[in-house]
Structure 1
Amino acid sequence: MGEKIKEYIRELVARYVAAAGADREHEVFVVDVLVRGGESGRKIELLVDTESGIEVGECVRLTREIRDAIEADEEMLREVGEMYQLTVSSPGLGGAIRNERQYLRQVGHLLKVQYLDAEDEEQELVGRLVGVELEEGSGQLLRLEPKAKKKKKGQKGAQVEIGPVEIALGRIVKAVVEIEF
């Protein structure tokens, strides 16, 4: 739903980033674009971040830029509808990691990772993220120091002691930051 709107928003963010000229650590990137509802009350939620964390002021500036662009583009305004709601924010705690660049900010934090092992069976591991490789040639992977023993999903009592684990990004089904107290 709303693929045309999502693509338009992504293009606007790319233009915003190019104009800002920030270094990679402070460069805004799209985590996700969610479009709900119809023309009579469409809701657009843009989740953005930077490798060092997004600031509220940056979200406000981006909201203004996107709103101004939509309202200046008659075709897009018809697509979105006059009664739309636009929200630009960070993904927040507890949400799934959706963009590989989000991992860079999570080094040192505890993650719950569901991934496919060599036999394509889904596994789950909770561990501290100790490293991230995002370069295309290096294999794109995460290094996790397990918090506890690893358990095969769906098997009771089958626990194995393991050391540091490397997981290819392409094998990750879902990764969520665990909140520590």
Structure 2
Amino acid sequence: MVEDKIAALLEEKFREDAFADCFLVDLKLHAHNKLDVFLDSDFGITFEKCHKISRYLEQYLDEEQWLGEKYVLEVSSPGISRPLIMQRQYPRNIGRKVEVKLNDGDKRTGTLLEVEEDHIVLEEKVRVQEGKRKKTEVVETEISFSSIEHTKVKITF
């Protein structure tokens, strides 16, 4: 499959020092030979890196004709609207407000405080009953990666 060939080329490229902090997030081949490649980096993917990787992939696509003579290749970062799906994406978002959707359908919203090997720590504001009235408390919640369906970074102004 073309996707497997592209993924292998990217793995090779990511072994180079200049691209060692990069990783593949998603790869989609659409109708009419349109290929979307979503990359990220431990320090934030730049336009320049996307451009260089696009040229690198085009070289093989043109030479090998994996998508024929006419194709569209888009190499970009996942963007803020796409969920975090890889553990490697989380550390760069420490301190940001996130919404975590759990496998059971429950949602948790708060500030991402920590990222560990098997879990994250979220600072949440929760309403608790105290006598006859409710009050807001700030709690730290540990959420295992195995229970997370996806996480979205919430934009705050």
Compute the TM-score of the two structures, normalised by the length of structure 1: 0.76
Size of the alignment, in residue pairs? Answer: 149
Matched ranges for 1:9-158 at <5 A: 9-18=6-15, 20-22=16-18, 27-37=21-31, 41-73=32-64, 77=65, 79-116=66-103, 121-134=104-117, 140-146=118-124, 148-149=125-126
Q: Calculate percent identity across the aligned residue pairs.
A: 27
Q: Distance in 2 between matches of 1:10 and 1:127?
A: 34
C-alpha displacement at 1:174, in angstroms?
1.8
Q: Distance in 2 between matches of 1:96 and 1:34?
A: 16
Aligned residues of 1:32 and 1:98 also touching (Cα < 8 A): no
- Consecutive aligned runs of 4 or more in structure 1 exceeding 3 Å deviation: none
Q: Distance in 2 between matches of 1:33 and 1:122?
A: 26
C-alpha displacement at 1:72, in angstroms?
2.0
Gaps of 5+ in 2: 128-135
Structure holding more strand per residue: 2
- The residue aligned with 1:178 is 154
C-alpha displacement at 1:56, in angstroms?
0.6
C-alpha displacement at 1:42, in angstroms?
1.1
Q: Distance in 2 between matches of 1:56 and 1:44?
A: 18
Q: Distance in 2 between matches of 1:47 and 1:58?
A: 12
C-alpha displacement at 1:22, in angstroms?
4.3
Q: Distance in 1 between matches of 2:74 and 2:141?
A: 37
Compute the TM-score of the two structures, normalised by the length of structure 2: 0.87
Aligned residues of 1:114 and 1:173 also touching (Cα < 8 A): yes
Q: CA RMSD in A?
A: 1.9
- The residue aligned with 1:137 is none
Q: Distance in 1 between matches of 2:3 and 2:19?
A: 25
Q: Which amino acid aligns with 1:145?
A: E
Gaps of 5+ in 1: 135-139, 151-159
C-alpha displacement at 1:23, in angstroms?
8.0
* 45 and 12 in structure 1: CA distance in 2 versus 1, 3 angstrom threshold: same
Aligned residues of 1:48 and 1:88 also touching (Cα < 8 A): yes
